[in-house]
Chain A
Amino acid sequence: MSLYYVQKYLYQLNRDPAVQGAYRSDPVAAVTSFGRDGQVATLTDEEIVALTAPDIGLLYHLGVNGQILMHFAAFHGIEWTDYLQRMRQGLRDHGPVREGVYALTTDL
């Protein structure tokens, strides 16, 4: 569980066309190479899957800041209501938001 690095990858992706190009051509390779810092694994297998699928609902459940996630969903061309629905489905599948200040405040 390394939420900080999940968000850091998305932060870089959201703002940097070069990172976007690498992700588009081979998302698993791009995310995996980011996910290793020397001998230290900064991303778990679950997080790599969430980032590459992409699994918007799982990323939301893990606690990715909503603004970072919103830009990532837009990058993938996910339509607005579909994006909101994917977050809700993530909570149904995985449980409440684990961390951060973007939790659901109404009934699921």
Chain B
Amino acid sequence: MSLVFAGVCSHAPGITGRADLADPVARDGLYDAFDWMRAELEATRPDALVVVAAEHFANFFMNNMPAFAMGMADHYQGPIEDPGWLMIDRFTAPGNRQLSERLIQEVMQTVDIAYAEEWLFDHGIAVPLHFLTPRFDLPVVPVNINCQGPPLTPLHRAWTFGEAVRRAADAVPERIALVGTGGISHWPATPDSGKINEEWDREFLDRWCRNDRDGLLGYDDLTIYADAGQGGFEIRTFLTVSAAAGGAAGTVHFYRPIPIFAVGCTIATYALE
């Protein structure tokens, strides 16, 4: 039928795993924003949720690293992390193999992607699902963009991929929701964890909300690394959603640096036509 929802959110493992160490006001503000996003998502009555993620070596490694991959299974398991560390119990999330296959075939018309009939979710998908589909009752189509193992997927290819995802969503009869997850500036999993460049984040989110293609593709990995850290490479997921939103205007519903979560926590959506 069409793309019915497009948004982005953070996925840092500390959001659930280190919740007890966070400033309660900041944490609860983020949780409220996730609740709001879930209500918005549910209001669009989606048949499936496409999650564009930046995984951290749960399924894909440098022995065979795809620039893009999409899941094509009826079930997915997670999290790969110790549940006591992530504070998310082991779960099985529903997929829809047949829908995945139709989406993949359409995306492949313009972007060479890998597909995967098995996929283990790490925090990059488990954290968003924990808040957005807590009962694991909405079929998920996982997507990965290589934001971890250089050479990384070029930014402009993430844009092209987003356009292909939109075309594919519009081509199927189901109502498709799209959520991109990643950090903006952050230095996760280093001793600098907790460092956040709020000024850089706000400029990025301004470009994202204006759906400023040239502005978003004007970033490059050298300056991202210097100004936004290696965690900033995950903006590819945000760019994919921008491209899929087809020029729609965005709104940031929540942004706040929460150092113990290691990222400027973000909830934002596009107002689709």
Contact = CB atoms under 8 A, between A and B. Distances in A.
Contact of B57 (A68, A74, A84, A87): A68
A11 B150 contact: no
Given A68-B56, A101-B150, A84 B187 contact: no
Nearest to A14: B80
A71 B81 contact: yes
B57 A67 contact: yes
A87 B56 CA distance: 19
Q: Looking at chain A's contact residues, is the secondary structure mostly helix, strand, loop, or mixed?
A: helix
Interface string A95-107: 0000001111110
B85 A74 contact: yes
Nearest to A81: B21
Interface in B53-73: 56-59, 61-63
**Interface size bucket, A side?**
20 to 34
A71 B122 CA distance: 10
Interface residues of B, number: 33
Contact of A104 (B122, B149, B192, B225): B192
A87 B150 contact: no
B18 interface: yes
Contact of A80 (B18, B59, B63, B229): B18
Interface in A62-108: 65-71, 74-75, 77, 80, 84, 87-88, 91, 101-106
Nearest to B21: A80
A65 B80 contact: no
A24 interface: no
A75 B82 contact: yes
A71 B59 CA distance: 14
A67 B122 CA distance: 11
B190 interface: yes
A88 B230 CA distance: 18
B56 A104 contact: no
Interface string B144-158: 000011100000000
A52 interface: no
B63 A15 contact: no
Contacts of B13: 70
A67 B188 contact: yes
B35 to A, nearest CB: 26
A7 interface: yes
A27 B86 CA distance: 24
Contact of A71 (B56, B225, B229): B56
A15 B190 contact: no
Interface in B72-87: 80-82, 85-86
A66 to B, nearest CB: 3
Given A71-B81, A75-B82, A80-B21, A66 B189 contact: yes
Interface string B195-234: 1000000000000000000000000000001000110010
28 contacts: A7-B57, A11-B61, A14-B58, A14-B80, A14-B81, A15-B58, A65-B148, A65-B189, A66-B188, A66-B189, A67-B56, A67-B189, A68-B57, A69-B189, A71-B122, A77-B82, A77-B85, A80-B14, A84-B193, A87-B191, A88-B191, A91-B191, A101-B230, A102-B190, A104-B191, A105-B190, A105-B195, A105-B229
Given A67-B57, A71-B57, A88-B191, 19 more contacts: A8-B63, A15-B80, A65-B149, A65-B189, A66-B188, A70-B189, A74-B81, A74-B82, A75-B82, A80-B18, A80-B21, A84-B191, A84-B193, A87-B190, A101-B225, A102-B189, A104-B190, A105-B190, A106-B195
